[in-house]
């Protein structure tokens, strides 16, 4: 029932927001800027529908005879909703006013992580890497690492939210992987929370890809990012037999993109790390592999090429997540996958930035 309610509420809420965007410019995305590639003004208020879907799916069992799993489901989901409120509000304010900088949004993500740490004790206590685990034995170190990871991943999802379905689809893949791990571990609570979140995001996804009728916006990206990373930490906390690195592989791409972007801006371009640019991997794929700038592209063609960018990320993310699920108990396998993921990213980025695009990956006409 929670799956059905989550999908239906988000679907209807997104549909209403799409209709509202035709009569009001509130929350519309700007078409000008180094990271703008859509062809017409589009609503950025998708995070409102997602928050509504998560909220109503949380309370579906109210007033009924509940078992312990249903009670825990409501309790944990409610605590996640409360904790996510600061970063969601910061993102929504930015979507509407364009006056909330990335630094303040990152601080709000830290506040959200700290709230959940204090209420449910959600924290990173182990990585199965000896030296790091020795440091994590100190509560202050565990808290700092938790805040850094949660805030970093939450912010990273917003960074990759530049093309139709890109961030949304990657979070669906991550939630599917976490659901499988929870199923294999027999953790019914985390399985229900992951599947409910998955169906909520699917209710938005059908409008976001391939047409790009509505965007996640900062509120939606931050909310989904926060939700996924906290579920991943909870899964590892409740199931010691699962490698702590397995959920990392399921959502690794946004982290790689964020860390690499910070390195590129600071040490290559000598710019502030929060300075926006058009040199993300997804931007290069759009320009070097999909868009033929030598011919005139109408709106339909540009929109079609925009939606294809996500496929270049969904396919490898699905493959790596699948292998991660198969070897979910082996940390060394997860670390090898992490190195392979990073090597693949760097190889493709170097080829594209040097105008040596792999011929087999070109689909522009």
Q: Judge whether 258 and 155 are in contact, CB under 8 Å.
A: yes
* Closest alpha carbon to 148 in 93, 192, 107, 195: 107
Q: Is the pTM of this model over 0.75?
A: yes
DSSP 277-335: -S-SHHHHHIIIII--TTS---HHHHHHHHHHTTHHHHHHHHHHHHHHHHTTT-HHHHH
Structure tokens at 253: 């791409």
Helix H segments across 186-251? 188-208, 217-238, 246-250
Q: Judge whether 243 and 330 are in contact, CB under 8 Å.
A: yes
pLDDT value at position 343? 95
- List the chain pLDDT tens, one digit each, 365 residues: 788 999 999 999 999 998 887 777 666 665 554 445 555 678 889 999 999 999 998 877 655 656 777 788 888 999 999 999 999 999 999 988 888 888 899 999 999 999 999 999 999 999 998 899 999 999 999 999 999 999 999 999 998 887 899 999 999 999 999 999 999 999 999 999 999 999 999 999 999 998 888 999 999 999 999 999 999 999 999 999 999 999 999 999 999 998 988 888 877 777 777 777 778 888 899 888 887 666 666 777 777 888 899 999 999 999 999 999 999 999 999 999 999 999 999 999 999 988 888 877 776 55
Q: Judge whether 148 and 250 are in contact, CB under 8 Å.
A: no
pLDDT value at position 365? 52
Q: How many CB atoms are located within 10 Å of the residue 300 CB?
A: 9
């Amino acid at each position: 029932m929670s799956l059905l309610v989550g999908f239906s509420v988000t679907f209807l809420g997104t549909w209403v927001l799409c209709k509202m965007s035709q009569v009001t410019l509130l929350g519309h995305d700007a078409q000008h800027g180094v990271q703008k590639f859509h062809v017409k003004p589009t609503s950025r208020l998708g995070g409102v529908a997602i928050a509504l879907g998560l909220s109503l799916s949380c309370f579906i069992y109210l007033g009924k005879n509940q078992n312990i799993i249903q009670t825990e489901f409501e309790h944990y989901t409610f605590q996640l909703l409360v904790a996510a409120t600061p970063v969601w509000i910061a993102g929504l304010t930015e979507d509407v006013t364009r006056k909330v900088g990335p630094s303040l949004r990152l601080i709000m993500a830290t506040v959200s992580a700290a709230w959940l740490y204090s209420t449910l004790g959600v924290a990173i206590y182990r990585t199965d890497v000896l030296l790091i685990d020795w440091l994590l034995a100190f509560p202050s170190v565990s808290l700092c690492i938790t805040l850094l990871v949660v805030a970093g991943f939450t912010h990273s999802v917003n960074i990759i939210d530049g093309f139709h379905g890109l961030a949304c689809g990657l979070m669906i893949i991550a939630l599917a992987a976490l659901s499988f791990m929870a199923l294999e571990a027999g953790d019914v609570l985390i399985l229900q929370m992951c599947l409910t979140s998955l169906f909520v995001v699917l209710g938005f996804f059908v409008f976001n890809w391939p047409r790009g009728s509505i965007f996640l916006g900062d509120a939606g990206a931050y909310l989904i990012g926060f939700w996924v990373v906290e579920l991943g930490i909870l899964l590892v906390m409740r199931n010691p037999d699962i490698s702590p690195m397995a959920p990392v592989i399921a959502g690794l791409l946004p982290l790689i993109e964020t860390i690499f972007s910070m390195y590129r801006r600071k040490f290559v371009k000598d710019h502030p790390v929060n300075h926006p640019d058009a040199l993300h991997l997804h931007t290069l794929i759009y320009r070097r592999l999909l868009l033929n700038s030598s011919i005139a592209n109408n709106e339909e063609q540009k929109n079609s090429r925009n939606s294809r960018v996500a496929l270049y990320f969904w396919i490898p993310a699905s493959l790596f997540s699948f292998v991660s699920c198969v070897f979910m108990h082996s940390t060394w396998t997860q670390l090898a996958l992490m190195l392979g993921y990073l090597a693949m990213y760097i190889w493709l980025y170097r080829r594209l930035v040097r105008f040596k695009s792999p011929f087999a990956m070109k689909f522009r006409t």
